[in-house]
Amino acid sequence: MPTSLFRPERVFFEKDALSYPLGEELYRYFRTQEVEVGFTGSHNRLTAIPGKTRVERFFRAKRTLVVGVRRSKRFETCRPSAHYQLPLATGCPGLCEYCYLLTNLGRSPYVRIYVNQEEILQTAEDYIRKRLPGITVFEGAATSDPLSVERYSGALARAITFFAGQPRGRFRFVTKFAEVDSLLPLRHGGATRFRFSINTPSIIGRYEHATATLAERLAAAGKVVAAGYPLGFMIAPIITGENWEQEYGGLFRELAPFAEITGLTFELITHRFTPRAKSAIREIFPRTKLPLEEGDRTFKWGQFGYGKYVYPKEVHNKIEAFFRSMIEKNFPHATIEYLV
Ligand code: SF4
């Protein structure tokens, strides 16, 4: 069994979710499983998660699934990776210490899936129509890792099939999971790009709890390529420590089977943290070994009015030179979409 298979310990349904076939099917399924099943007034406000402390509630929430109806017809923008977010799920059962959801979802880290997928995709079609004749790109992993809940939601399968029929629409998502088998036989028309978020085995082992191993992610990437999907790798966060060049050199050797793929993309994100993220990480993972010393970093104001601690210029330049040369040398047909 994959190391990362998500099995919730409690599942809550919005009453309205049961009037959709998927909601009804999930309700019947979970009633036969050894999980607590209950109801919630709204998927946005779940107060029934047990635990005495915030930390305890955080870990219990990560094992809580909420099945709801997404009512908003507004999609958030999603620069630079896409035009809009495609809201297929919210939250993720993974426990990565540097997860952006630690601060984004704050006190609501439970995992939400939506049963009105046809309506969500209908809204996507409206967005595509508004931008014609341009191509509109949607990101499926802006507020979750949708592959982690695919076995319950089937949302990626529906989105992939939908985008295969949208000549001016594209779909992409990024994952640290590996259960791709159900997606391989789908008619995708090359409109969906799978990206696997990867790192060195020691970084994954130390910080990315409850996700797939590097070997599992790369095996899944191999299957995805064989099924004809466009592929990308996101290396994030890039962390420098002792021997980082050797360690990332080793990671690139693991990627050798993908060297000749046409259209391969890389997204590269150096490690950074906000003061808010640091305090959330320290609270939830008090023994974290993440490098979070402000004195080793440069403070940089971001476009959204808050700042973050990034690597100083000279370290960033070293990272950039190393990654660009590795990719140019070993992946002649690949594109680096961005390095930040
Ligand atoms: S897999 Fe992604 S979304 Fe899930 S906890 Fe890890 S970083 Fe967050």
pLDDT tens digits for 53-87? 989 999 999 999 999 999 999 999 998 789 999 99
For residue 44, the model assigns a pLDDT of 81
| Atom of ligand 1 lying closest to residue 100 CA | 8
Q: How much is the pLDDT for 106? A: 73
Give the pLDDT confidence score for residue 3 in this predicted structure: 57
**pLDDT value of position 306:** 81
Query: Does residue 92 line the site of ligand 1, with CB under 6 A?
Result: yes
Buried residues in 27-65 as b, exposed as e (16+ CB within 10 A): beebeeeebebeebeebeebeebeeeeeeebbebbbbbb
Give yes or no for residue 319 having a pLDDT over 60: yes
Q: What is the pLDDT of residue 315?
A: 97
- Rounded-to-integer distance, Cα 257 and Cα 276, Å: 39
Closest CA to 12 of 69, 71, 72: 69
Instruction: State the pairing for strand pair 89-90/208-209.
Output: unpaired
* The predicted structure's pLDDT at residue 89: 97
Percent of the chain with pLDDT over 90: 89
User: Residue 1 pLDDT more than 70?
Assistant: no
**Distance between Cα 100 and ligand 1 center (Å):** 8
The pLDDT assigned to 105 comes to: 81
Each residue's pLDDT tens digit, 264-301: 999 999 999 999 999 999 999 999 999 999 999 999 99
* Ligand 1 atom, smallest distance to 177 CA: 1
Res. 4: pLDDT tops 80? no
Does the CB atom of residue 139 touch ligand 1 within 6 A?
A: no
For residue 90 and ligand 1, the question of a CB distance below 6 A is answered with no
Ligand 1: nearest atom to the Cα of 91: 3
| 90-103 pLDDT tens trace | 999 999 999 999 88
Question: What pLDDT is stored for residue 159 in this prediction?
Answer: 98
Strand pairing partners for 233? 196, 266
294 CA to middle of ligand 1, Å?
24
Both tokens of 128, joined, read 């595509």
Pocket test for ligand 1, best of 6, 58, 176 (most atoms within 8 A of CB): 176
Q: What pLDDT was estimated at residue 266?
A: 98
Smallest CA-to-CA distance from 183 within 224, 124, 152, 226 is with 224
pLDDT at 45: 81
**Mean pLDDT taken over the chain:** 95
Residue 338 confidence (pLDDT) above 80:
yes
Of ligand 1's listed atoms, the one at least distance from the Cα of 144 is: 3
- Section 38-60 average pLDDT: 87
CB of residue 237 inside a 6 A radius of ligand 1: no
Which stretches of the chain are assigned E, i.e. beta strand?
Answer: 10-14, 36-40, 64-68, 84-85, 89-90, 95-96, 111-114, 136-139, 169-175, 192-198, 208-209, 231-238, 265-270, 298-301, 307-310, 335-339
- Average pLDDT of span 3-12: 87
Which pLDDT belongs to residue 2? 56
Interval 205-246: pLDDT, tens: 999 999 999 999 999 999 999 999 999 999 999 999 989 999
Nearest CA to ligand 1 atom 2: 145
pLDDT score, position 167:
97
Residue 284 in tokens: 């939830």
What is the tens place of the pLDDT at every residue in 151-174? 999 999 999 999 999 999 999 999
